[in-house]
Amino acid sequence: MATKKLFIKTYGCQMNVYDSARMADVLAPLGYGPTDDPAEADMVLLNTCHIREKAAEKVFSELGRLRRIRAAREARGEGRTVLGVAGCVAQAEGAEILARAPFVDLVLGPQAYHRLPEMVARLARAGEAQLDTDFPADPKFDHLPAPGVRGPAAFLSVQEGCDKFCTFCVVPYTRGAEYSRPVTDILAEARALVAAGTVEITLLGQTVNAYHGEGPDGSPWGLGRLIRALAEIDGLDRIRYTTSHPRDVDDDLIAAHAEVPALMPFLHLPVQAGSDRILKAMNRGHDAAAYRRIVERLRAARPDLALSSDFIVGFPGETEADFADTLALVDEIGFIQAYSFKYSVRPGTPAAGLPGQVAEDVKAERLARLQALLNAQQVAFNRACVGLEMDVLLDRTGKKPGQLVGRSPFMQPVHVSAPAEMLGTVRRVVIDAGQPNSLAGRLVACPGGAPQGPQRVPA
Ligand code: SAH
Ligand code: SF4
Ligand code: F3S
């Protein structure tokens, strides 16, 4: 029984979403249950992101706001809220956080979540702020409890950290070295999720397809093999993985896309830029031609595969000609969805010291041009879905009465009129409308039999 209330605010990537849920799992035995209202919380945790300057700066303004909320609660005689900062800003700026916001009680990096109960106990005993940003030799996964109930679609971290050191990126510093969880642990966590009602699992890792966890036979397994083993779990209808790196797309993973029906035909494969000169300066370890070849092979394996990507504009030294190469690559490959960012200088990363930093207004102008192209591709894809039948995982209630919202195989939100009992199930839907950011459709009376894959979307 929860006797205390926990509020967690999550910034950043899916791994932080997963980690927030894991922190809640760790704190549950201490009597903490979830609340949506920080004003009534006994503990507030900010799970932070350091990837771009804006993301990191948000934390301090939020801390100021929470400090006031905490003071008001204390004045009402409702007790003192424990205020904690977790995640990548905590890892990167641990001591600075305590210096700049000395009213914070807990600062803990992503590898220390299993030690939360200890930190809470020490805080209660000593009454002074606790900091833990060590990278323990012993992986945290060995000490985390079984996951709680997650709902129809859940994340599962299989790999963490990064050894790639792209010159713009803080992740190798905030998440540490690459680590792959053993296959047996992952299968056990997946089975527990499915037993609790999950039907779709997204495997997570900073470079998830660099996965090389120990198999039950002691040999290292790649991601393709792991996906095949997960696909055997009864009741697990859908498998996804993110974020993958072009360098780690191997033959077996490509084959898995052809052979495993549960593996969804949608892949987030960040390319960052289309210019070989910039890709080299970014230390991405591949050129534009290699990216094109990988996409070609993936599409040969799974013809309906749709792609998403990440882009950075205005990396140091990027000329108009370099940027034109990015536009050309986007034009040629065709993405159904994408994230694009202005390059943000991150202290301590190699690119921060490079000559040729690009002016803000140039970055903004290039970003606008890139986003116009990416948006047009997204809208065109959504329109092309009209008239098709797809399997949709109805995973939440809609705003309108009698409406459920789900995810298509391609991660598009799909609005459907459907009874509440269908929540958490995969249904056949015919698409009636394609909006810029979502689809609308109708349930198809299912003639029975196994669900089919989506029909091919015309290019
Ligand atoms: N591991 C993933 C990316 C993780 S970070 C990969 O290798 O692709 C998510 C995205 O944030 C990156 O793909 C990149 O597009 C963006 N990003 C990372 N550092 C950035 C920076 N300094 N400025 C702007 N965008 C950045
Ligand atoms: Fe960052 Fe590059 Fe590692 Fe991705 S592969 S997390 S962009 S260093
Ligand atoms: Fe941000 Fe850390 Fe994820 S920096 S993007 S929360 S790995």
**pLDDT, tens only, 103-117:** 999 999 999 999 999
pLDDT for residue 370 is more than 90: yes
CB atoms within 10 A of CB 167: 18
Ligand closest to CA 50: 3
pLDDT for residue 138 is more than 90: no
The whole-number pLDDT of residue 149 equals: 83
Rounded to the nearest angstrom, the distance between the alpha carbon of 169 and the centre of ligand 1 is 6
Rounded to the nearest angstrom, the distance between the alpha carbon of 56 and the centre of ligand 3 is 10
pLDDT tier for residue 96 given thresholds of 50, 70 and 90: very high
The whole-number pLDDT of residue 459 equals: 46
Over range 57-83, report the average pLDDT.
95
What is the tens place of the pLDDT at every residue in 313-334? 999 999 999 999 999 999 999 9
pTM across the whole model: 0.95
The whole-number pLDDT of residue 140 equals: 87
What percent of the chain lies above the pLDDT cut of 70?
Answer: 97
List the 43-48 sheet strands across, edge first: 32-34, 4-10, 43-48, 82-86, 106-108, 130-132
Same domain, 434 and 319: no
């039950």: which residue's tokens? 216
Same domain, 216 and 252: yes
The whole-number pLDDT of residue 392 equals: 98
CATH code of the domain in which 400 resides: 2.40.50.140
Atom of ligand 3 nearest to the CA of 175: 7
pLDDT for residue 5 is more than 80: yes
Same domain, 321 and 338: yes
Atom of ligand 3 nearest to the CA of 15: 3
Same domain, 339 and 435: no
CB atoms within 10 A of CB 104: 21
Rounded to the nearest angstrom, the distance between the alpha carbon of 137 and the centre of ligand 3 is 21
Q: Which residues pair with residue 275 across a beta bridge?
A: none
- Which of 87, 105, 132 is the last residue in one of the domains? 132
Burial class (CB in 10 A: 0-12, 13-18, 19+), 320: exposed
pLDDT tier for residue 452 given thresholds of 50, 70 and 90: low
pLDDT for residue 451 is more than 60: no
What is the tens place of the pLDDT at every residue in 11-21? 999 999 999 99
Q: Is 88 annotated as a binding residue?
A: yes
* Residue-range definition of the domain harbouring residue 344: 140-383
Same domain, 256 and 222: yes
Same domain, 379 and 390: no
Q: Which residue has the higher pLDDT, 447 or 312?
A: 312
pLDDT for residue 198 is more than 50: yes
Same domain, 374 and 426: no
The whole-number pLDDT of residue 136 equals: 82
The whole-number pLDDT of residue 446 equals: 60
pLDDT tier for residue 457 given thresholds of 50, 70 and 90: low
Rounded to the nearest angstrom, the distance between the alpha carbon of 267 and the centre of ligand 2 is 17
Same domain, 150 and 109: no
What is the tens place of the pLDDT at every residue in 435-446? 999 999 999 976
Q: Is the CB of 94 under 6 A from ligand 3?
A: no
Same domain, 364 and 392: no
pLDDT for residue 450 is more than 70: no
- Which of 383, 403, 427 is the last residue in one of the domains? 383
The rounded distance, in Å, linking the Cα atoms of 86 and 210 is: 25
pLDDT tier for residue 301 given thresholds of 50, 70 and 90: very high
Q: Is 446 annotated as a binding residue?
A: no
Same domain, 378 and 437: no
The whole-number pLDDT of residue 47 equals: 97
Q: Is the CB of 440 under 6 A from ligand 3?
A: no
Same domain, 145 and 127: no
The whole-number pLDDT of residue 456 equals: 56
The whole-number pLDDT of residue 414 equals: 98
The whole-number pLDDT of residue 449 equals: 47
Same domain, 150 and 74: no
Q: Which residue has the higher pLDDT, 79 or 142?
A: 79
CATH code of the domain in which 84 resides: 3.40.50.12160
Over range 41-51, report the average pLDDT.
97
Q: Is the CB of 315 under 6 A from ligand 1?
A: no
Q: How many structural domains does the chain have? A: 3
Ligand closest to CA 86: 3
CATH code of the domain in which 195 resides: 3.80.30.20
User: Mean pLDDT over all residues of the chain?
Assistant: 95
- For the chain, give the secondary structure using H, E and C: CCCEEEEEEECCCHHHHHHHHHHHHHHHHHCEEECCCHHHCCEEEEEECCCCHHHHHHHHHHHHHHHHHHHHHHHCCCCCCEEEEEHHHHHHHHHHHHHHCCCCCEEECCCCHHHHHHHHHHHHHHCCCEEECCCCCCCHHHHCCCCCCCCCEEEEECEECCCCCCCCCCHHHHCCCCEECCHHHHHHHHHHHHHCCCCEEEEECCCHHHCCCECCCCCECCHHHHHHHHHCCCCCCEEEEECCCHHHCCHHHHHHHHHCCCECCEEECCCECCCHHHHHHCCCCCCHHHHHHHHHHHHHHCCCCEEEEEEEECCCCCCHHHHHHHHHHHHHHCCCEEEEEECCCCCCCHHHHCCCCCCHHHHHHHHHHHHHHHHHHHHHHHHHCCCCEEEEEEEEECCCCCEEEEECCCCCEEEEECCHHHCCCEEEEEEEEECCCCEEEEECCCCCCCCCCCCCCCC
- Which of 132, 158, 174 is the last residue in one of the domains? 132
